[in-house]
Amino acid sequence: MGGSILNSMLTFHIVSIFPEALTSYLKESILKRAQEKKLVKFAFVNPRTFADGAHHKVDDRPFGGGPGMVMMVDPIARAVQGICKKNTKQRTRTILFSTRGKVFDQAAARRLAKYDRLILICGRYEGVDERVADHIADEELSLGDFVLSGGELPALVVAEAVARHVPGVLGKQESLEEENGSFPTYTRPPIWKPSPKGKGFAVPPVLLSGDHRKIAEWRKRNGVR
């Protein structure tokens, strides 16, 4: 499903069997203020709610054998369908976190900020039935070449990185590091001594000069875009 212009309200629907693992982080700092200003919204969907049977089972043994359990396709499919039924006109992107996914970066964050609704599917156990990737998710994302126990941490990373690109979330647009590159930063004291008699470590003199042109040049030389 496609996106177009930046939207003033972005809803993150996080599909997870451990929603309580996410809530405390979302109540702090930038994401808390963004929610208070009604620029972004977070909703949690537990696939157990859509699972069959008295025990609401969401996992089963892998076909072909092997260790661990695999998350089943049906509860996840029903969870996503339930989300999409609420507003069929919203520009939506469904993402599955996977070690085989494309590595998430700033370009992806800017792209995803153009949607009205992001559905973030968090896997657990030994993985998710491949039919989720093939027939439910629009794309698979990874944070890098390592393995985590679930998709909850990637969901938080993606949510914060994307939310920063929603107009009004940051106090100043200049706060986006990609505008000028990432460069070393310093604050008081101008000379720091780890111990009273030890060697002092000084802030680069150019940053104390008040010469904004030279400061900009220094940051450009020492930064990484």
d(CA 121, CA 50): 14
Residue with the two structure tokens 């700092």: 29
d(CA 201, CA 197): 12
d(CA 41, CA 31): 9
Going from the N-terminus, what domains does the chain have, and what CATH number goes with each?
A: 10-173 (3.40.1280.10), 180-222 (1.10.1270.20)
DSSP 81-143: HHHHHS-TTS-EEEEEEEEEEEEP-HHHHHHHTT-SEEEEE---TT-B-HHHHHHT-SEEEES
**pLDDT, one tens digit for every residue, the chain (225 residues):** 444 444 458 999 999 999 999 999 999 999 999 999 999 999 999 999 999 988 899 999 999 999 999 999 999 999 999 999 988 889 999 999 999 999 999 999 999 999 999 999 999 998 999 999 999 999 999 999 999 999 999 999 999 999 999 999 987 655 545 556 688 999 999 999 999 999 999 999 999 999 999 999 999 999 876
Mapped onto helix, strand or coil, the DSSP state of residue 221 is helix
| Model confidence, pTM | 0.87
d(CA 126, CA 153): 16
